[in-house]
Amino acid sequence: MMLPFLKKAVYNAFTKPSTEAFPCPEAEGLGEYRGRIAFNQDSCVDCGMCIKVCAPMAITRTEEKVEGGKNVTRTFDLTSCTFCGTCADFCEEGSIKMTTDYHMVATDPKDLLVSGVTFREDKGTLTCDLSGCIFCGLCMRNCPEGALAVDRKAKTWVLDEAKCIQCGKCIGKCPKKVLSFGPVK
Amino acid sequence: MFNILWSLFYVLIFPGALFTVAVGLLLAGIDRKVVARMQHRIGPPIRQPLYDFLKLIGKETIIPKAANKLAFLGAPFVGFVSLALIMLFIPIFGFTAFSTSADMIVILYLITIPGVALIVGGSSSGSPYAGIGISREMVTMMAYELPFVLVLLTVAKKAGGVSLAFSMDAIANWQAANGSMLFQWAMIPAAIAMLLVIPAEVGTQPFDVAEAETEICEGPLVEYSGAPLGLFKLNSAMKMFVMSALFVSLFLGGIRTGFILIDAIIFVVLCIIVTVLCMSTIHAISARLKIEHLFKFYWTFVAGLAMASLILVWCGL
Amino acid sequence: MIQHFPVAAVMLLFLAAFLVEIFGSKNAVVRNVIALEAATISAVLIFALVKPILIDGQVISYWMGNWAPVSGYAIGIGYEIDALNLFFALLVCATFWLSCVYSIAYMKNDRHLGHYYTLFLMLSGSVLGLVLTGDVFNMFVMIEIMTFASVALTAFRNDSDFALEAGFKYLVIGSIGSSMTLAGVALLYGQCHTLNMAQISAILAGRMTPTSIMALGLIIAGFGVKSYIVPFHTPAADAYTTAPTSISMVFSGMVNKAGVYGMIRMVYVVFRAMDKSSVQMLLVLFGAATMFIGVTMALTQHDFKRLLAFHSISQIGYVITAIGLGSALGLTGGLFHAMNHTLFKGLLFLTAGAVLYATGTTNLDKVGGLSKKMPVTAACFLVGAFSISGLPPFNGFASKWMVYQALYTRAMESGNFVYALVTVVALIVSVMTLASFIKVTQSAFFGQCPAELKDTKEVPFSMQLPMIIMAVLCVAAGIFYKAVDKFLLNPAVNASFNVTKYVDSMIGEGTAAAAGLENILVNPVEFSFWNPLVWLVLFVIVFAAIALVILYGNFARGKVLEPDTANDAKYATFFSGEQEEFSQVAGSDLFWGFKKDWKGYYKVLVGLHNGNVNDYSTMAIIAAAVIVLCMFIFMR
Amino acid sequence: MLKELLNKSSMKSPWIYHINSGSCNGCDIELVAVLTPRYDAERFGFKLTGTPRHADIVVVSGPITSQSKERLVRTLAQVPEPKCVVSLGSCPKSGNVFKGSYSVEAPLDNYVHVDVSVAGCTPKPEAIMEGLYKAAQILQEKREAMNK
């Protein structure tokens, strides 16, 4: 009853083992594999969408005041990441990419942090030229921080300055181009 | 005095401790390598058991609170010493260190000592896993003892000791005169039974119920660490050699070149073949048995084979 | 002078038995002194006979009241001591002396100790008398005294119903045995008109008449009851269990051996039937059945003493098998194993007694982890367990080795397959013995200690001493087996085979020659399986070397760490991460796979041991009938 | 020379004990995959053991649920020195998606020094191999440090 196994075992013993070499060569056809996160700090607009959608809260954001604005540091903790890729999907600027690199091994935890620093100049308060505004609400829908409240019927446009992070997404989306940053205080 | 020195040489170096350890580690390494190759893997290097042993020596030895220190530390040494001594009684073709008239019983009992040492050591550690492990180890011992005894009796009958029944020398001489036991067709069932006894005695894969690491945390060895554990691992490597050597001298004897060195080399080569045949192959192709199945297997199938052989031999075949 | 020693030894014990009752029933010191003095003096008297008999090869004959034979017919009671007697007498003396020492501390919490020592000394005296006497009827009388003293001692702790029950069983089965012996003796007397063994031996001279066949059958059955071979073994288990442990040791060390002695004396010397193949086969088969059933019953026990009791039965099976072979090697092995059985089984019973004394129970499911509380007892137990399992270099190995050799040599010589099968049984029984002692080791001495036994203490020194002595003897007999053979076994074996000297010194020179008794040449047994002394030295060297190198060597930093703090998880038992808790794999939990496969067998076997005295006596009678029938059918 | 051999052998024969502290079994399966013929960790002497007493490398997977925390800590204490702790996957280091749950006591670093962390959810067997190999090297360093 063990004969088939025996045959296989003897066959195996005299053929080349199917073991891969170590360190393993890059596997081909990884394609869709979601490995180490690559973050392009230059194209990031610090919209904060990635932080919002991250389920394991692996992305942290710290800011530091510098001359003419602030340095925003965005850190992706790979030992906390669940590699779902949602942040990459939500990043409008395409600053977050999931690479196929799976060598995420480190003795020092710092090696497993991916971070980037974005300089954000202080652009001033967002203002709206209410005369041109049609209160379509696109700006509100695209605001990552929920800082805008637009009422189409009552024809109001209200900005919560505390919430606004000056990402400027609303400016890009506005069909009438009535939004702009005001003077720097 | 000279006699004592020779005895010391025998015990410590040539057929005794050093030789047994060296060949045992070699066999264990080959076993692991062959099993790996049979599973289509590369497998560890042949010197891997040596690394394991050296590493374990360098590790810390923890003695648990519930353990009896003396029995816990002493057991592996007792097993080691008895294993080193067994080789003195197994003729390497023409050469036996302690030439005695009757040594099969001595071998039979000395071989149980490492098992008993394992049991006592495990038992003294006070762990319930070890309790279950020693229970299984003991049942395994009872299981293979019947076919083992039957095989020994068969060979003893075939070789027909002159004054006393169980003489290894008589067997060696008989084989030198009449050719290997294995070429007697009546002995073939006994040889197969013996090949099946070896893995249970050593405790390799399908018969390692006592040390099942996945279910009872290595059974008797659960609390062992460091040097005593290393010795136990060494013991099982030595057991591999001792058992296959027993097989070789019972069934494949009869080769006399006259040079002890060449004899020893042929002997070791034969041992390797036996190891690969009965331990590695069975290990590679089968999964662990349950304890009651193991007992039944040995007391029916294997004992039946050995018994058939004994009856055939008794009828003068 | 020296010829008075044996009688004096026996009489002293009987005398002391009365003195203890008269003077010692109130005062413990007087009682202990009398008992111990009597035991010591009679032991010394017997040991004084070693030189003339074992070394010089004399045979001491002694006529009670100086009633010498009249015209060649023995009319008085004769004591005759040759090497065979003395061999057993030495075992008996050693056993009762050690048991007496042990009793002093062990029994001190019991009541009515005056009776205890009386009965104890009566038992000792009767067994000593039994092995020393040269008179068949005197032997029977001693058997009776022995039986009734044993019954009373079995039921000594009569506050438990179990003890009374055991005593009753013993009484019934023991009486059956005694009656059979008596019937055999009566038949012998009818046949030979004398009761003196030497003279019967000369008259029968190996010739078998129907009367003597009947007598032999009955006597074998009778002594079979006394040595508890298998169908007669039923009361033994209960008796050994319930008797005080010092007495259990006496039972297995002396009372058992008295039966074995009687068997050897009758079969070898009196009837000279050991070369009849039917007798051989009968004894070997009974022996094989005894060892197998004894050990398989023992495997399922979970009472320490009951387990030992069944092992006692099983080991006697080895002895009976070996002496049944009728060969010199077999008899040597049988005697050696009888001696070793006295040593290691006595030792094991003493350790069981120590456990009972210290913890109050012998139930293996309720004890555990005692090796840390009672190190001496545990070490002695291990020695005993390894001896009885026949591990080299302990004494059990040497004697078992001889038994196997004798069995298989006989099998190969005679070509009889039955002997080969018995060899297999003997070898398997050995490993099963090991298994059941592993069970005790695990469940009583190792494993974990239950909370209620936390403050168990080691037993007092006077209880340790007998254990240590016996443990040392166990090791010594295993290592110096050649000396044992030379000074004890070989003279005894020669004495059993060569009766001319025995007959001549008792009845008068030339009697043996006139009766046609010839010496059977006993080839010296070759022992060469090892040279233990060299081994021992090497063992020590190797052991020390490895221990030094590995544990304390400079290069290996693996330190041996002692548990220092109570709650350090590092030194706790691994429970898959759980908090350490009490978890003991107890006696009845072990060997599950084995028990499952043997379920059917155990169902039958346990059904036979149902505790019903009627059934037991039926079994005994049937077995006796079978023995006698076999004798008649197959005796040629 | 002997000392060197001893040091070297500690790297050549690292035995693994695997603790699952509430893992989803993804990492556990991948760890077993490391021992399969394709990756064959045994060629470097890696071996899965059944008890922490035999282990050199402890592999922890799972977000350390509060039920398993105590057991985890106890088991880690029972591993003889020199030992090495590897966290497998994202869970033990941070709690991963379970972070902040009332029943998760995640960062393993609170209880023991983590020598190697293998990130991924789940890591590929190649990455686990890499991590284990790195752990073996650390083991040798620790062993050398012990000798000094």
Whether residue C551 has pLDDT greater than 60:
no
- Its ipTM equals 0.81
List the single residue in B116, B145, B227 with the smallest CB-CB distance to C391: B116
Which has the minimum average pLDDT: B127-141, C33-47, C379-393, C506-520? C506-520
Q: Are B76 and B232 in contact (CB under 8 A)?
A: yes
Flag whether pLDDT at A21 surpasses 70.
yes
Average pLDDT value for residue range C490-497 = 80
Confidence at residue C555, expressed as pLDDT on a 0 to 100 scale: 41
Q: Do D127 and A104 touch (CB under 8 A)?
A: yes
Query: Does C553 have pLDDT greater than 50?
Result: no
Residues in C closer than 8 angstroms to B116, CB to CB, are 386, 389, 391, 434, 438
Instruction: Give the lowest-confidence range in B65-69, C145-149, D34-38.
Output: B65-69
Q: What are chain D's partners, defined as 3 or more CB pairs within 8 angstroms?
A: A, B, C
Chain B residues within 8 A of A1 when measuring between CB atoms:
none
Residues of chain D with C-beta less than 8 angstroms from the C-beta of A22? 39, 43-44, 129, 133
Compute the average pLDDT of residues C233-259: 84
| pLDDT value at B132 more than 80 | yes
Hey, what domains does chain A have and what are their CATH numbers?
32-121 (3.30.70.3270), 126-181 (3.30.70.20)
pLDDT at site D40: 84
For chain B, the chains sharing at least 3 beta-carbon pairs closer than 8 angstroms are A, C, D
| Secondary structure in 3-state letters for chain B | CHHHHHHHHHHHCCCCHHHHHHHHHHHHHHHHHHHHHHCCCCCCCCCHHHHHHHHHHHCCEECCCCCCHHHHHHHHHHHHHHHHHHCCCCCECCECCCCCCCCHHHHHHHHHHHHHHHHHHHHHCCCHHHHHHHHHHHHHHHHHHHHHHHHHHHHHHHHCCCCCCCCHHHHHHHHHHHCCHHHCHHHHHHHHHHHHHHHHHHCCHHHCHHHCHHHHCCHHHCCCCHHHHHHHHHHHHHHHHHHHHHHHHHHCCCCCCCCHHHHHHHHHHHHHHHHHHHHHHHHHHCCCCCHHHHHHHHHHHHHHHHHHHHHHHHCCC
Q: Quick one: pLDDT at residue A81? A: 84
D25-69 residue pLDDT tens: 888 888 888 888 888 888 888 888 888 888 888 998 888 888 888
Instruction: Please state the separation of Cα C99 from the chain's center in Å.
Output: 14
Domain that holds residue B48: 2-314
pLDDT tens digit sequence for C307-352: 888 888 888 888 888 888 878 888 888 888 888 888 888 888 888 8
What does the pLDDT average to over A100-128?
78
| Domains (range + CATH), chain D | 12-140 (3.40.50.12280)
Candidate from B29-33, C125-129, C366-370 with smallest mean pLDDT: C366-370
Tell me the mean pLDDT in the region C231-249.
84
- Average pLDDT of chain C is 81
Give the pLDDT of residue C526.
60
Q: Give the three-class secondary structure for A126.
A: strand
Per the structure block, which two tokens stand in for A138?
Answer: 């696109």
CA nearest neighbour of D118 among D147, D137, D90, D81: D90
CB contact under 8 A, B42 and D10: no
With contact defined as 3+ CB pairs under 8 Å, the chains touching A are B, D
Predicted confidence (pLDDT) per residue in B144-154, tens digit? 888 998 888 88
In the predicted model, is pLDDT for residue C573 greater than 50? yes
Note the pLDDT of residue C229.
Answer: 85
How confident is the model over C593-636, as pLDDT tens digits? 777 788 888 888 888 888 788 888 888 888 888 888 888 887 75
Q: Work out how many domains chain B is built from and give that number.
A: 1
Tell me: the pLDDT tens digits for C180-207?
Answer: 889 988 988 888 888 888 888 888 776 7
For an interface test with C, give the residue of B13, B57, B302 to mutate (most C CBs within 10 A): B57
Question: Please, which residues 43-62 of chain B have a Cβ atom closer than 8 Å to chain C?
Answer: 56-62
Q: How much is the mean pLDDT over chain B?
A: 81
Higher pLDDT, C521 or C6: C6
- pLDDT of A167: 74
Nearest CA-CA distance, residue C320 and chain B, Å? 20
